[in-house]
Amino acid sequence: MVRIVRATQVEIESAVQALRDGELVAFATETVYGLGANAQNPAAVAKIFAAKGRPPNHPVIVHLDSPRFLHRWVREVPEVAMRLAERFWPGPFTMVMPRAANVHDVITGGQDTIAIRVPAHPMAQQLLTAFGGGIAAPSANRYGRLSPTRAEHVREELGDAVRVILDGGECQIGLESTIVSFEGDGVRLLRPGSVTATQISAVVGELFSDDGRPVPRVPGSPPTHYAPTTHMTIVPAGEIDAQADAASSGGRRVAVLAQRLPLRAHKYATWINAGRRPENYGRDLYANLRTLDKAGCRRILVQAVPDGERWDAIRDRLVHAATSVAESDDGSGAMAVLP
């Protein structure tokens, strides 16, 4: 059971003052830790990009404590968006809508849309309510790397770049929010998360399929993302032991993320059994990959996860993480998924 932690009044006041001073604040949400800045202060938001090494055309999500403030950020709220807000906010759900005229390009990556979320974590709600405005907050990690699900992950990666870190314990969900956009009365799923396509469809009807039409740029859309520094490969479920043997031949160390214990001892393998429950696997995914990334191994082998909607968000993150520079390629990088 994940322990939910609330901030003290002194901690909240310190974080609010930092935001008003144009500084960065990291805080827990139910998905991952966010790196926050006053969304109405372009210079402060620019510090997020500098701290993360984030490309300037990559939009950030603005967090609010309630949908009642949507009109400050969104030019037009589709009726279908209000139905989704009633069902999924507060929660791990982000909606992309037309931006209001006062929203700065640094928030949207120069697009005419803005991504909005109302998080459910009590510490995030404490901070947002006390601050009384929108907080721009992508994940609190270096761009493209593993998202942080514990306060120590933020400290390891960003250090003194963050004025205040509000430690809310381990994130309950551990994977970034579901993201949707709107086309007329229709809804398109842009990033899978713990709110599934079936749950969304139950509210709004059938979703638009991926038909190749242009969609807004959103967090997590680059091919390489959520990645450890160690070369990572996805392996078919039935081949994980054999691949571990092959990768560790000659005494080379290999790291393994599987859904079961090994069938036999692997002398040079660091093996994590993440289990078969998608909720637990997803919650622990980034922490497990961080552990394996620090194990001093040449490769990380990940057992392919099962088919099915409950695993879609996990599969999406693993595929993004498995894009790296292979030992035998030309240095341009290739997705490492074994047949």
- CATH number of the domain within which 300 lies: 3.40.50.11030
Instruction: Tell me, yes or no, whether 52 lies in a domain.
Output: yes
What pLDDT, on the 0 to 100 scale, is given for residue 184? 87
Instruction: Tell me, yes or no, whether 313 lies in a domain.
Output: yes
* Percent of the chain as helix, strand, coil, to the nearest 5: 35, 20, 45
Contacts of 301 (CB under 8 A, 6+ apart): 232, 233, 235, 240, 243, 244, 247, 254, 255, 256, 257
Q: How far apart are the C-alpha atoms of 200 and 184, rounded to whole Å? A: 16
Report the CATH number that the domain containing residue 87 is assigned in CATH.
3.90.870.10
Residues 142 and 279 in one domain: no
The whole-angstrom distance between residue 337's C-alpha and the CA centroid of its chain comes to: 21
Q: How far apart are the C-alpha atoms of 33 and 27, rounded to whole Å? A: 6
User: Which one, of 64, 124, 130, lies nearest residue 97 by Cα?
Assistant: 64
Q: How far apart are the C-alpha atoms of 225 and 55, rounded to whole Å? A: 13
Residues 311 and 185 in one domain: no
Q: How far apart are the C-alpha atoms of 323 and 95, rounded to whole Å? A: 27
Domains contained in the chain, number: 2
Q: What DSSP letter does each residue of 43-88 carry, written as one string?
A: HHHHHHHHHHT--TTS--EEE-S-GGGGGGTBS---HHHHHHHHHH
Q: How far apart are the C-alpha atoms of 321 and 231, rounded to whole Å? A: 9
What pLDDT, on the 0 to 100 scale, is given for residue 271? 98
Is cis: bond before 90, omega within 30 of 0? Answer: yes
Residues 243 and 162 in one domain: no
Q: Which residue segment(s) compose the domain that 58 sits in?
A: 9-204
Q: How far apart are the C-alpha atoms of 307 and 321, rounded to whole Å? A: 18
Residues 254 and 188 in one domain: no
What pLDDT, on the 0 to 100 scale, is given for residue 225? 86
Question: How far is the CA of 249 from the CAs of 16, 177, 266, 268, 308, in angstroms?
Answer: 54, 39, 10, 8, 34
The arrangement of strands across the sheet holding 135-136 comes to 164-166, 25-27, 34-38, 135-136, 61-63, 113-117, 93-98, 178-183, 186-191
Q: How far apart are the C-alpha atoms of 4 and 147, rounded to whole Å? A: 19
Instruction: Tell me, yes or no, whether 61 lies in a domain.
Output: yes
Instruction: Tell me, yes or no, whether 211 lies in a domain.
Output: no
Find the distance separating the first CA and the last CA of the chain, reported in whole Å: 36
Instruction: Tell me, yes or no, whether 221 lies in a domain.
Output: no
Residues 133 and 97 in one domain: yes
What pLDDT, on the 0 to 100 scale, is given for residue 298? 94
Helices (H), the chain: 9-20, 42-52, 79-88, 105-108, 122-131, 151-158, 197-204, 240-247, 278-293, 312-321
User: What does each of the 339 residues of the chain score in pLDDT, given as a tens digit?
Assistant: 566 677 899 999 999 999 999 999 999 999 999 999 999 999 999 999 999 999 999 999 999 999 999 999 999 999 999 999 999 999 999 999 999 999 999 999 999 999 999 999 999 999 999 999 999 999 999 999 999 999 999 999 999 999 999 999 999 999 999 999 999 889 999 999 999 999 999 999 999 977 777 888 888 777 778 999 999 999 999 999 999 999 999 999 999 999 999 998 999 999 999 999 999 999 999 999 999 999 999 999 999 999 999 999 999 999 999 975 443 333 333 334 333
Residues 156 and 245 in one domain: no
Q: How far apart are the C-alpha atoms of 19 and 35, rounded to whole Å? A: 11
Residues 171 and 283 in one domain: no
